[in-house]
């Protein structure tokens, strides 16, 4: 019994040291929530991952701040929609967000956060090719997202499998999801696959005004090619 008590005491001590050192916590007597606070505590999401702005990395659980780290990746550009090409992606579109820090499955022995596409993602940003295997996936081995509507998995799209840790910006360039980013003008870069290259979208041969995107999609883009981010990458074709 004495031996068991010693082990118990040592275990509690070790866990206490781990909790304090891992987060460098400041004292916070707030009510346990899943919020973000400048006063770091076990009760706030950004105590272990994130920053003073939001709970998404950087930093990640290992303290990394570079996009090249899998725990960081493109979190901020998705959450803040900083590229101005579409609406922001909420945390719960790619993860199960716990209501409390000690919710089941949140802090466990499995490294990394589980990517579970659901909610608005599964109904709007994905699953738009009838008869195909349209389940959106993320591989923590290759660090690729596949079958994602927001990266061209739709009719006449490029069906790109972006690398989560890419820092080049290639996946947010106009034409990367639909069209050809190598073309000289915005309109040419954005033109989806036509019948001339295996698609079904009208081509210049079909309609001389086809490169004026706003003529058919005025709710999504104007004559100066300014995007309405609420209509772009929203899971449907807006006219």
Residue with tokens 């696959």: 193
For residue 233, pLDDT over 70 is answered with yes
The answer to whether the beta carbons of residues 32 and 126 sit under 8 Å apart is: no
Separation CA 23–CA 30 (nearest Å):
16
Separation CA 187–CA 130 (nearest Å):
27
Quick one: which of 54, 49, 93 has its CA closest to 71?
A: 49
Instruction: Return the pLDDT at 125.
Output: 61
61-90: per-residue pLDDT in tens?
999 999 999 999 999 999 999 888 988 888
Would you kindly state where each structural domain of the chain is located, as residue ranges?
2-93
100-141: per-residue pLDDT in tens?
888 888 888 887 888 887 654 455 565 555 555 567 889 999
Both structure tokens of 227: 């995007």
For residue 26, pLDDT over 70 is answered with no
Both structure tokens of 132: 């195909």
Which parts of the chain are beta strand (E)? 137-138, 145-146
Instruction: Return the pLDDT at 160.
Output: 93
């Amino acid at each position: 019994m004495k031996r068991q008590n010693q082990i118990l005491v040592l275990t509690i001590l070790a866990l206490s040291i781990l909790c304090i050192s891992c987060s460098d916590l400041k004292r916070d007597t707030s009510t346990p929530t899943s919020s973000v606070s400048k006063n770091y505590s076990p009760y706030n999401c950004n105590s272990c991952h994130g920053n003073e702005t939001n709970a998404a990395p950087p930093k990640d659980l290992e303290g990394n701040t570079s996009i090249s780290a899998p725990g960081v990746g493109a979190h901020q550009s998705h959450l803040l929609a900083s590229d101005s090409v579409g609406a922001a992606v909420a945390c719960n579109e790619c993860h199960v967000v716990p209501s409390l820090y000690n919710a089941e499955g949140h802090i466990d022995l499995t490294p990394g956060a589980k990517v579970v596409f659901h909610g608005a993602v599964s109904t709007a940003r994905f699953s738009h090719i009838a008869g195909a295997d349209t389940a959106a996936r993320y591989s923590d081995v290759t660090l690729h997202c596949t079958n994602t509507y927001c990266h061209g998995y739709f009719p006449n799209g490029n069906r790109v499998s972006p690398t989560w840790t890419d820092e080049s910006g290639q996946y947010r360039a106009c034409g990367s999801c639909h069209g050809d980013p190598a073309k000289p003008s915005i309109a040419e870069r954005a033109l989806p696959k036509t019948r001339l290259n295996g698609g079904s979208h009208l081509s210049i041969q079909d309609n001389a005004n086809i490169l004026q995107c706003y003529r058919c999609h005025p709710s999504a883009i104007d004559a100066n090619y300014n995007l309405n981010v609420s209509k772009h990458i929203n899971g449907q074709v807006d006219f």
